[in-house]
Amino acid sequence: MSFSDTTLKLHTLYSDHHGWLQSWLRRRLGHAGDAADLAHDTFLRILLTGRTPEAGQSRAHLTQVAKGLVIDLHRRRLVEAAYLEALAHLSQAQAPSAEQRALVIEDLLLVDRVLAALPAKVREVFLLSQIDGLTYTQIAEAMGISFGTVRKYMLRTTQALHAAMQAAEGVHAP
């Protein structure tokens, strides 16, 4: 398919379904601004991936992409709320700047995405270590797995986080 064919197909998809998608999102989210943003992001995602649906599958495809973006929005808001709740306990002098808060939230979202992609047991080992402060021996006993498996799971998580951070730095590099 040529560039002009793809452009025409995307233009037709947008003009035929943007209003419907934005209305669908507004009903689902209850907020016109979020609906407009996510409708825009849905078409942007389709543009960037280059996967435009066939005419009979347009609404199903748009709905699938938009649902993923709705989930991302909710996750982001949960992460932001948890972080802001933690900050509420700090004194004004200890509170980070708005820029620092934004950077931390982006890092937390990256960690959240990486952890969500890991198998449940691997994620649980990491959280027991980092959030609950358990030792590897305590984690092994609590989960009924070997010490070596705990180490292997921690290494797997660390490698996944490192790879994601390297990729994110590559995106932000000048």
Domains and CATH numbers, the chain: 3-85 (no CATH), 96-172 (1.10.10.10)
Residues of the chain with pLDDT under 70: 1-3, 171-174
For residue 41, the model assigns a pLDDT of 94
From 75, 86, 151, select the one nearest 110 (Cα to Cα). Answer: 75
Q: What amino acid is encoded at 119 in this protein? A: P
The structure's pTM equals: 0.67
Distances (CA, A) of 74 to 70, 83, 109: 6, 14, 11
113, two tokens: 């995405």
Q: What is the pLDDT of residues 61-112, one digit of tens each?
A: 999 999 999 998 998 899 889 888 888 888 888 888 889 988 989 899 999 9
Q: Let me know if 39 is exposed, middle or buried by CB neighbors in 10 A (0-12, 13-18, 19+).
A: buried
